[in-house]
Amino acid sequence: MKPPLLILFDVDGTLIRTDGAGVRALNQGFLDIMGWENALGNFSPAGMTDMAIAHRAARWFRGSELTPEEMQQVFERYLEILPRELAQSSGYRVLPGIQRFLEKYSLRGDILIGLGTGNLEKGAAIKLEHGGISDFFRFGGYGSDALDRTEVLAMGIKRGAALSGLDILLERVVVIGDTPLDVEAGKQLGARTVAVATGPYRVSELKSFQPDLVLAHFDEHEKIDSCLEGWV
Ligand SMILES: [Mg+2]
């Protein structure tokens, strides 16, 4: 039997949009713990891991990174605030075509679907539970695993292999995300990459990073289905 096709999904801008709830919760965490106002206001956090975001904010505010203790406190506060921010976020949505994709492909024995996200593991779970799609994802690599997105993906592959008891070949891994950072991290591992323009980047911008497939959104059923059938 051929090894399965392992698909790793990014969360923000790929599966869901929180309409800023995630950023507001992390900003509030920084304000409550560090006293910094609008900590994420000076850069675009899209595609970065949560730990990388936290260090970047700290470097901007005081010229040095967070200590592990500070990081833990900021993240604990963030995770406390996140459910409330999501509940208040009227613009939260599961992105078009995602539900169909998950229902269709999660039942297949030759495909494993997990997460490859910069979100903390708990943060990803909270965000996906809010949209009722967390049960589709039984493993993943998370922003709580590593600072570097490539290492996050590698952890997702390792967990997928452990959970399924199957060998995973890197050329049979598909990384799906909405930013150039997702594409670059996937390519670095030797995985196939799919970029989707439901985050801050347009199709033309994503194309310049040469992913294997670029989608405007996940409602492009035929493109997705024919591509996956060719890869599986
Ligand atoms: Mg994203």
Q: How far is the CA of 13 from the centre of ligand 1 (A)?
A: 5
Same domain flag for 178 and 204: yes
Q: How far is the CA of 9 from the centre of ligand 1 (A)?
A: 9
Q: How far, in Å, from the CA of 178 to the mean position of ligand 1?
A: 5
Instruction: Let me know whether 107 and 65 are in one domain.
Output: no
* Å from CA of 229 to ligand 1 middle: 25
Q: Report, as ranges of residue numbers, the positions in the chain whose pLDDT lies below 70.
A: none
Same domain, 49 and 77: yes
| Ligand 1 center from residue 196 Cα (angstroms) | 9
Together in a domain, 200 and 186:
yes
Predicted confidence at residue 2, as pLDDT, reads: 83
Which pLDDT value is given to residue 1?
Answer: 73
pLDDT at 188: 97
Q: What is the pLDDT of residues 9-29, one digit of tens each?
A: 999 999 999 999 999 999 999
- Residues 119 and 71 grouped into a single domain: no
Report the CATH number that the domain containing residue 147 is assigned in CATH. 3.40.50.1000
**Domain assignment of residue 83, given as a range:** 21-88
Same domain, 73 and 174: no
Signed CA dihedral, 197, 155, 227, 124: sign only: negative
**C-alpha 4 to ligand 1 mean position (Å):** 24
Q: Are residues 30 and 68 in the same domain?
A: yes
Ligand 1: distance of its center to the CA of 168 in Å?
A: 24
In this structure, which residues have their CB less than 5 angstroms from ion ligand 1?
A: 10, 12-13, 178
**Tally of CB atoms within 10 A around 198:** 22
Query: Is beta strand 93-94 parallel, antiparallel or unpaired with respect to 16-17?
Result: antiparallel
Task: State residue 231's pLDDT score.
Answer: 95
Predicted pLDDT at 150: 98
Co-location of 126 and 63 in the same domain: no
- What pLDDT is stored for residue 218 in this prediction? 96
Q: Could you read off the pLDDT of 178-199 as tens digits, one per residue?
A: 999 999 999 999 999 999 999 9
pTM summary value: 0.96
Look at residue 86 in the predicted model and tell me its pLDDT. Answer: 98
Q: Give me ligand 1 centre to Cα 63, in Å.
A: 26
Query: How many A from CA of 1 to the centre of ligand 1?
Result: 33
Query: According to the 3-state scheme, what is the secondary structure of 91-152?
Result: CCEECCCHHHHHHHHCCCCCEEEEEECCCCHHHHHHHHHHCCCHHHCCCEECCCCCCCHHHH
> 17 - beta bridge partners?
93
Ligand 1 centroid distance, CA of 10 (Å): 5
Domain count, the chain: 2
3 state SS of 16: strand
Q: How much is the pLDDT for 55?
A: 96
Report the alpha-carbon angle 118-120-123, nearest 5: 110
Residue 2 CA to ligand 1 centre (angstroms): 30
